[in-house]
Amino acid sequence: MGAKAKKAMKKQLSKASAQLSVSTHNKEAAAAAADFLPLEGGPARKLPEEKPKEDVAKVLYIGRIPHGFYEKEMEGFFGQFGVIKRLRIARNKKTGKSKHFGFIEFEDPGVAKVVAETMHNYLLFEHLLQVRLIPPQQVHPKLWKGFNYRVKPLNWVQIERKRHDKERTLEEHKKLVEKILKRDLKRQKRIEAAGIDYECPEIVGSIEQPAPKKRKTDRKKVDLIGMKSKH
């Protein structure tokens, strides 16, 4: 093969390679354009703009509630901001005493937000109130169970009277007398250690059996017997 034939072959090879590169580039451009073609039936619709969600939290947690600031006081104080839907103070089930935290639900979420911003760390009776909003998904379903329940204070005098005056068994009576004697012995030792010359009176009590209660009918019989003996 001569030099002229070699040059002609090189030219043909370069032309073929150039044509292949142009065809592949055209194919890639067509595929890219096909990806962005509009759907059939008209131009593409614009998606609606997502608006930021409004605050819907209406329930407030209130901590460090001072003693004496209960449902009526809280309703009068926080009612100045807006309408209160529900209010509850956590209380001890046995004693009915306040646990110093509670919850308030307002009808307007905007009012609840204002209260949370203004009343947090508010000084009330030497207590810094802790107020914060509770998201709706975190509100317990049983939070407002019995929210309108009014706690009646326990009559501790009556409870202690019943406990003191109850009828005791023989074993309970023995334990009671033993405690009294031990307490009296400790008292005597403290008096002697202080250098005081004092004779403590003896405690009269029966450990074996409690003294029976006298009935009014027995007293009447004794009085009648005494009257007959005099006559």
What ranges do the domains of the chain cover?
59-138, 170-208
pLDDT digits (tens, 9 = 90+) for 46-85: 666 666 555 688 999 999 999 999 999 999 999 999 999 9
| 59-138: CATH architecture | 2-Layer Sandwich (3.30)
Residue 198 in 3-state DSSP? coil
Q: What is the pTM of this model?
A: 0.48
Q: What is the pLDDT of residue 222?
A: 44
Backbone torsions φ then ψ of 14, nearest 5 degrees: -65, -40
87: CB partners within 8 A, 6+ apart: 71, 74, 75, 78, 102, 103, 104, 105, 147
**Is the per-residue pLDDT at 228 higher than 50?**
no
Q: Return d(Cα 86, Cα 59) in angstroms, integer.
A: 9
pLDDT digits (tens, 9 = 90+) for 155-184: 888 888 998 898 989 998 899 889 999 999
The two most distant CA atoms of the chain are separated, in Å, by 177
